[in-house]
Amino acid sequence: MTMTEAARVILVANQKGGVGKSTTVATVAEMIATAGKRGRRVLVVDGDPQANVTADDLGVDGDRGQSLAATLQFGTPLVPVRNVRAHLDVIAGGPQLAIAGAAAHLMTENGIDMAANLQSQLAALCAAEGYDVVLIDSGPGDVPLLDTYLSVANYLLIPTRDDRGSLGGVELLARRFWRARKRGASIQLLGVLLFDVNPRAEKRNQEVFAQISEMLEGSGTTPFDVTIRSAPAAAVDMRNLHKTAGELVALAHAERRSRLSKLRDKKSPTRGLWSSDPSGLAADYQELVRQIVARLVRYESEPAAVGERVG
Ligand SMILES: Nc1ncnc2c1ncn2[C@@H]1O[C@H](COP(=O)(O)OP(=O)(O)OP(=O)(O)O)[C@@H](O)[C@H]1O
Ligand SMILES: [Mg+2]
C-alpha cells in the first residue's frame, strides 16, 4: 500500500526561519482533527530539533526527538504521544534529531537510508492508527533532514513572510523540491502561504502574490488564495498558553465572560490574554484548511494536475 492511499503526508517547510511553519502545522492539525461531527485522525510529526510545535504550540512533553531519531537511524517503530487533542497524536521533535541530521553523511556512506526508514515506519503507524492526515513540521536549517522529509511526504506546503529573505527561502526550497522529484520522490507542491500579512496592504500583497506565482510557474500550483493576518498579540498568547488559533477563540470568549462577572463582583479585573479578539486569525486558518482540503481532493482525482516542470 502506498502512503497516498493510507494518509496524506503534508510537509510544511521553508529554508528560511520564522515564517510560520510550526504555528501553521499546529493550528491546521488541530482544526482538521476537530472539524465536523467525526473529526479526522491527524498525526503531527515534529521533524525540527527546536521542537516548537511539540513544546510551544501544542504544549506536549516529548521525548526530545528520541523516537523519530531512532526511526531515522535504526528503522525502529515510531512512538506517538497520543491524544494531545481529540483525534490528534504527535511524534515529538527535539535535539536528538540534530544528532541524526549531523550523522546523515555517515549513514549514507554505510548504507543507512533515513528516508526509507521513516517512510516504512510512517506507513506502518498510519495503517495501524488510521490517520487521515500527517503534517510534518521541519526546521529551517537542517538540509539532510529536510531532504529526508521531502522524500517521504506526498505534499509540500510553503509558508512565507513577504520580505526578501523569506521569499528567497521559498526559492531555495522550490529548487530542493525539484531535485527531490528528480531523485524519484512523488511529492507535489500543494501551495505557498503568505503569513503575517497586513490584509489592508492590498497593493503590496498583490505584488507579492505575483512574485510567488512567477516562482511557482510550471509547478501546477498557485499561492493559496488566503493570507494569515498579522496578529502579534494572539501569537504571544498562543505560544504562552500552548493554544492554537482555533483554541484561543474559545479561550478569549470564556475570558470575556469571566471579566464581565468579575466586574459585577467589583473585583479588579486581571490581565489574562493579550489578544482581545483572535477570531479573525482563526477564520484565516479555517479558510486555509478549506483550501488545503479542496486541493488535496483535486490532486487525488487528477494526479496529472501537477506535471513535470518543462525545461
Ligand atoms: N499571525 C501572526 N502574526 C505575527 N506573528 C505570528 C503570527 N503567528 C505566529 N507568529 C509568531 O511568528 C514567529 C514565527 O512563527 P513560527 O515559529 O511558527 O515560525 P517557523 O517558521 O516555524 O520558525 P522556525 O523556522 O524557527 O521553525 C513566532 O514567534 C510566532 O509566535
Ligand atoms: Mg518552527
Residue 48 CB–ligand 1 contact under 6 Å? yes
**Nearest bound ligand to the CA of residue 19:** 1
**Mutate which of 196, 198, 244, 287 to test ligand 1's pocket (most atoms within 8 Å of Cβ)?**
196
Residue 12 C-alpha to ligand 1 middle, in angstroms? 13
CB atoms within 10 A of CB 196: 21
**Nearest bound ligand to the CA of residue 237:** 1
Single-letter amino acid code for the residue at 235 = A
Please tell me the least confidently modeled range out of 134-148, 188-202, 209-223, 264-278.
264-278
User: What pLDDT shows up at residue 281?
Assistant: 97
Spell out the domains of the chain, with CATH numbers in brackets: 3-232+284-303 (3.40.50.300)
Task: For residue range 145-179, list pLDDT tens digits in order.
Answer: 999 999 999 999 999 999 999 999 999 999 999 99
2 — pLDDT class (breaks 50, 70, 90): very low
User: What pLDDT shows up at residue 107?
Assistant: 93
Residue 220 CB–ligand 1 contact under 6 Å? no
**Using CA positions, which residue lies closest to atom 5 of ligand 1?**
232
Task: For residue range 192-208, list pLDDT tens digits in order.
Answer: 999 999 989 989 999 99
User: What pLDDT shows up at residue 237?
Assistant: 95
| Average pLDDT of the residues in 111-116 | 96
Atom of ligand 1 nearest to the CA of 239: 31
User: What pLDDT shows up at residue 259?
Assistant: 73
Residue 232 CB–ligand 1 contact under 6 Å? yes
Name which of 170, 155, 132 is nearest 295 in CA terms.
155
User: What pLDDT shows up at residue 263?
Assistant: 64
Cα 72 to Cα 78: distance, rounded to the nearest angstrom: 9
Single-letter amino acid code for the residue at 95 = P
Residue 54 C-alpha to ligand 2 middle, in angstroms? 10
Residue 280 CB–ligand 1 contact under 6 Å? no
Cα 72 to Cα 66: distance, rounded to the nearest angstrom: 10
Residue 281 CB–ligand 1 contact under 6 Å? yes
User: What pLDDT shows up at residue 258?
Assistant: 78
User: What pLDDT shows up at residue 303?
Assistant: 60
Lookup: cell for 235: 501569537
Residue 289 CB–ligand 1 contact under 6 Å? no
Grid look-up 509540500 returns: 156
**Nearest bound ligand to the CA of residue 54:** 2
> 167 with 21: CB under 8 angstroms?
no
Cα 96 to Cα 76: distance, rounded to the nearest angstrom: 15
Cα 56 to Cα 61: distance, rounded to the nearest angstrom: 10
Cα 219 to Cα 196: distance, rounded to the nearest angstrom: 24
At residue 48, does pLDDT exceed 90?
A: yes
Name which of 215, 94, 102, 238 is nearest 166 in CA terms.
215
Task: For residue range 15-27, list pLDDT tens digits in order.
Answer: 999 999 999 999 9
Q: Which strands sit side by side in the sheet containing 8-12, from one edge to the other?
A: 81-85, 88-91, 42-47, 133-138, 8-12, 155-160, 188-197, 223-229
Beta pairing class for 223-229 and 188-197:
parallel
64 — pLDDT class (breaks 50, 70, 90): very high
36 — pLDDT class (breaks 50, 70, 90): confident
4 — pLDDT class (breaks 50, 70, 90): very low
Name which of 119, 68, 64 is nearest 91 in CA terms.
68
Residue 233 CB–ligand 1 contact under 6 Å? no
Please tell me the least confidently modeled range out of 9-13, 84-88, 201-205, 287-291.
201-205
Single-letter amino acid code for the residue at 32 = I
Name which of 310, 245, 305 is nearest 281 in CA terms.
245
Going by the DSSP 8-state scheme, the letter that residue 199 receives in this structure is: T
Task: For residue range 245-300, list pLDDT tens digits in order.
Answer: 999 999 988 888 877 776 666 555 555 788 888 999 999 999 999 999 999 999 98
